[in-house]
């Protein structure tokens, strides 16, 4: 594979990034180079750094590199996995924890152990870690979304290092349907805080043009400009002992980050000084470029879970695609219960997938009363001062964009 156009510039731009999100996967942060059986069978007393717990030396090396970046005036946010794995070790569980309530119990125990090590390791380098446990709700609710953003800004202003994980104790996301995994969580965070770079560190060192496990001729792809169908097809399944991510979830994360104009690097977390070297522009792993970005509010709309859906006729779909407002006239059906200001899906009546997400100016009850009516009729039906349109073009985001 030759040097692709844009690759050198994109790598060089990493060196000037000011706001960086570093995602550290379970297999990177835990000592698991031995067989999975040994990791699972390890006893609770092993947790403090040896025989399968957190790799304290690794965390120290990561902290040293983050401290270097901080000294250079950069802001670093960490997204860490490892809570469930740590909890499982402390409980001496001998097999993969799959039952939801047990994963939650493991997360509750393991998160403290995890942050304890962060505090210790970061403290050596004069860094103050701050724990942020989040659920999908902080993205779906606009005021929670803005609040979280404000607290991250305050932490960064104070020179602290925000360390995120999913609040696995109350969120069923790892198994259910919310963030899904920390790869996607890290991308949502990068998007929320307008990070310029998301560095995903795991045991996957790059995106390959074929499955490297089964094809010895598979070659790493150093630079990806567009997420083409071919690129998406190169992602396999995978995931391991305690973690949930594979290449497919990493590519979903890339798509989320790219919408925010954030470049993503996927690299082997065990590569020597990987954080410092990637952020100095060295060609390690795969760099996914970000060539266009959605505005902040549009990103929020796109990243929110829809509270319901509105089916529209072809005319209405064509109109919103042409950047016109969504009017009640073109609506043919309303599903779910939602209020004014909620994010809902808008889909063509004959399509199963959503075409767009919009912020609706009318609740589901109101919409049901005005289906198929003209805008002029709205006030007569809903009362004076009722909104004239269902969604404005600036509150409409197409999902394929
Ligand atoms: N939140 C999980 C944990 O801390 C990890 C999820 C993931 O590996 O993607 O254990």
Report pLDDT digits (tens) over 271-314: 999 999 999 999 999 999 998 888 888 988 998 889 999 999 98
Q: What does the pLDDT read at residue 60?
A: 95
> Which tokens go with 30?
């835990």
Q: How far apart are CA 13 and CA 6, in angstroms?
A: 11
Give the mean pLDDT of 313-320.
Answer: 92
d(CA 50, CA 319) in angstroms, rounded, equals 61
The answer to whether the Cα torsion of 327, 329, 332, 336 is positive or negative is positive
Is the confidence at residue 96, as pLDDT, over 80? no
Contact 262, 196 (CB under 8 A): yes
Query: Among positive and negative, which fits the CA dihedral 150, 298, 400, 225?
Result: negative
Q: Whole-number mean pLDDT of the chain?
A: 86
Of 113-122, 208-217, 246-255, 260-269, least confident by mean pLDDT is 208-217
Alpha-carbon distances of 223 from 4, 8, 23, rounded to whole Å: 7, 9, 19
Element of type H or E holding 202: strand 197-202
What residue spans of 21-126 are helical by DSSP H? 26-29, 36-41, 56-71, 83-90, 100-124
Residue 174 near ligand 1, beta carbon < 6 Å = yes
- All domains of the chain in start order, with CATH: 8-298 (3.40.1160.10), 306-398 (2.30.130.10)
Structure tokens at 83: 């809570």
pTM > 0.75: yes or no = yes
With a 6 Å cutoff on the Cβ, whether 171 touches ligand 1 is: no
- Between 265 and 247, the more confident residue is 265
Q: Contact at 8 Å (CB) between 211 and 236?
A: yes
Q: How far apart are CA 308 and CA 364, in angstroms?
A: 8
Which residue is it, tokens 């740590």? Answer: 86
Tokens of 116: 């304890």
Mutate-to-test residue for ligand 1 from 182, 203, 245, 248, highest number of ligand atoms within 8 A of CB: 182
- Please tell me the distance from the alpha carbon of residue 220 to that of residue 329, in angstroms, as a whole number: 51
Contact present, 36 and 241 (Cβ < 8 Å): yes
Q: Kindly report the three-state secondary structure assignment for every residue of 215-257.
A: CCCCCEECEECCCCHHHHHCCCCCCCCCCCCCHHHHHHHHHHH
Q: Identify which of 84, 106, 115 to mutate to test ligand 1's pocket (most ligand atoms within 8 A of the CB).
A: 84
Supply the pLDDT for residue 248.
84
Q: How do residues 23-76 score in pLDDT, each as one tens digit?
A: 999 889 988 644 333 333 344 344 433 346 889 999 999 999 999 999 999 999
């Amino acid at each position: 594979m030759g040097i692709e156009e844009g690759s050198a510039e994109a790598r060089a731009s990493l060196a000037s990034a000011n706001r960086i999100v570093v995602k550290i996967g379970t297999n990177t942060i835990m000592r698991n180079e031995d067989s999975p059986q040994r990791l699972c069978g390890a006893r609770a007393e092993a947790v403090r750094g040896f025989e399968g717990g957190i790799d304290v030396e690794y965390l120290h090396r990561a902290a040293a590199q983050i401290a270097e970046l901080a000294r250079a005036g950069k802001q670093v946010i960490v997204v860490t996995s490892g809570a469930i794995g740590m909890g499982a070790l402390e409980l001496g569980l001998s097999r993969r924890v799959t039952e939801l309530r047990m994963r939650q119990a493991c997360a509750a125990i393991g998160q403290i152990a995890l942050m304890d090590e962060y505090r210790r390791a970061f403290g050596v380098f004069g860094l103050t870690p701050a724990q942020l446990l989040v659920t999908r709700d902080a993205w779906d609710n606009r005021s929670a979304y803005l609040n979280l953003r404000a607290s991250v800004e305050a932490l960064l202003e104070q020179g602290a290092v925000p360390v995120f994980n999913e609040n696995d104790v109350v969120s069923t996301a790892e198994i259910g349907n919310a963030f899904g995994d920390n790869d996607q969580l890290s991308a949502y965070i990068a998007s929320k805080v307008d990070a310029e770079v998301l560095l995903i560190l795991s045991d996957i060192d790059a995106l390959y043009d074929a499955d490297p496990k089964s094809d010895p001729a598979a070659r790493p792809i150093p630079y990806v400009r567009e997420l083409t169908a071919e690129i998406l097809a190169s992602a396999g399944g995978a995931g391991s002992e305690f973690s949930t991510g594979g290449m497919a979830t990493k590519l979903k994360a890339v798509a989320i980050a790219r919408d925010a104009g954030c470049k993503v690097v996927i690299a082997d977390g065990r590569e020597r000084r990987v954080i410092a070297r990637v952020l100095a522009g060295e060609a390690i792993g795969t760099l996914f470029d970000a060539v266009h970005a959605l505005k902040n509010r549009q990103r929020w709309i796109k990243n929110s879970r829809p509270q319901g859906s509105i089916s529209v006729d072809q005319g209405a779909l064509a109109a919103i695609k042409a950047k016109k407002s969504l009017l009640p006239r073109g609506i043919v059906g309303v599903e779910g219960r939602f209020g004014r200001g909620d994010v809902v899906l808008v889909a063509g009546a004959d399509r199963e997938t959503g075409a767009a997400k919009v912020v609706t100016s009318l609740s589901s009850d109101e919409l049901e009363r005005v289906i198929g009516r003209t805008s002029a009729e709205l006030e007569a039906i809903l009362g004076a001062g009722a909104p004239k349109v269902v969604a404005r073009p600036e509150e409409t985001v197409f999902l394929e964009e």
